[in-house]
Amino acid sequence: MRSNTAHSGVVRTRFAPSPTGRLHLGHVLAAQVAHDLARREGGGFLLRHEDIDGTRVREEYYAGIEEDLRWLGLAWDGPALRQSTRIAAYEGALERLRAMGLVYPCYCTRREIQDEVGAMVAAPQGPEGPLYPGTCRGLPGEEQQRKLAGAATHAWRLDARKASELTGPLSFTDLRRGTLAVDPCLLGDVVLARRDIGTAYHLAVVVDDAYQEISHVTRGEDLLPSTHVHRLLQVLLGLPEPVYLHHRLVLDAQGRRLAKRHDALAIAALRQAGMSATEVLALLEVGDLRD
Ligand code: GLU
Ligand code: ZN
């Protein structure tokens, strides 16, 4: 299968927060890495609000995030993209994969998956815990029809093995780690369309990175496993291959990654406490992006 080569030419990066809270230091590192890489190369730096999960999004956070970025001096180019306006594009991509026979409906509830995994002697494991055991993969046509009629909603999952048989071996380039071989089944048969919102992170990211012509995808190294799936999806959907930079994470004093419980480290809180933008950025010691 044809694979577009990694970008050469105009550098374009993006920062892609979810408007489910204010920015904290972890986000700022991600934003600064993307910003600095683009500006260093005279390229573009874009902002994308990852707001497909409407139940967690709050309207005031879009403006709050933008205010924090402006205050930090991390200005972006052009209007911010909202993923909630791009649902038709994600549906189109899913439809393509469906036509290729590479996705299947999954009727399992979270609970059913947990129970099934718990009952298995050797449940398949991924980097973040047990993987979906493939319950709904390869259901006979009539059983699928019966379930489709009976269930109010269902998710769509990627048949990762079948997809990788189609693409053959793949790799991606990370600026810190060099060339890495794709393990297409690393995260198992990931959900490409959630039952509640009709799309999902992996699909939306891949479609939008291509739409926004992102040459360099920079993000925390916690998302490195996802890149294996994203590379597979890019090839299946005929999308260009970006270069990756998975940067280190900002950890608290206990070595845990920052999360909602660290509201004291929200940029707005640091600012209110009297810190300047320069002082906040200095906390991160970004330095060489490849560190
Ligand atoms: N929205 C994701 C996050 O906030 C980032 C997605 C990405 O960079 O691919 O962690
Ligand atoms: Zn299932």
Q: What is the pLDDT of residues 61-91, one digit of tens each?
A: 999 999 999 999 999 999 999 999 999 999 9
Return the H-helix or E-strand segment holding 237: none
Q: What is the distance in A from the centroid of ligand 1 to the CA of 207?
A: 14
Ligand index nearest the alpha carbon of residue 249:
1
Ligand index nearest the alpha carbon of residue 144:
2
Q: Kindly report which listed range (36-45, 98-107, 138-147, 239-248) carries the lowest average pLDDT score.
A: 138-147
Closest C-alpha residue for ligand 1 atom 4: 17
pLDDT of amino acid 260 = 64
**Which domains does the chain show, CATH number per domain?**
12-282 (3.40.50.620)
pLDDT of amino acid 261 = 66
CA atoms of 167 and 234, how far apart (whole Å): 10
The candidate with the shortest Cα–Cα distance to 257, out of 218, 221, 226, 205, is 221
Q: What is the mean pLDDT of the chain?
A: 91
Does 277 contact ligand 1 (Cβ within 6 A)?
A: no
Mean pLDDT of 153-166: 96
Query: Could you read off the pLDDT of 22-37 as tens digits, one per residue?
Result: 999 999 999 999 999 9
Ligand index nearest the alpha carbon of residue 195:
2
Q: What confidence tier does 247 reach under pLDDT thresholds 50, 70, 90?
A: very high
Closest C-alpha residue for ligand 1 atom 8: 219
The candidate with the shortest Cα–Cα distance to 16, out of 48, 44, 45, is 48
pLDDT of amino acid 278 = 93
Mean pLDDT of 152-168: 95
Query: Could you read off the pLDDT of 86-143 as tens digits, one per residue?
Result: 999 999 999 999 999 999 999 999 999 999 999 998 888 999 899 999 999 988 888 8
Q: Kindly report which listed range (38-42, 147-151, 205-209) carries the lowest average pLDDT score.
A: 147-151
Confidence (pTM)? 0.93
Residues 6+ apart with CB under 8 A from 259: none
Structure tokens at 199: 């799309």
> β-strands 103-106, 81-82: how paired?
unpaired
Q: What is the distance in A from the centroid of ligand 2 to the CA of 132?
A: 8
Q: What is the distance in A from the centroid of ligand 2 to the CA of 106?
A: 4
Q: What confidence tier does 4 reach under pLDDT thresholds 50, 70, 90?
A: low
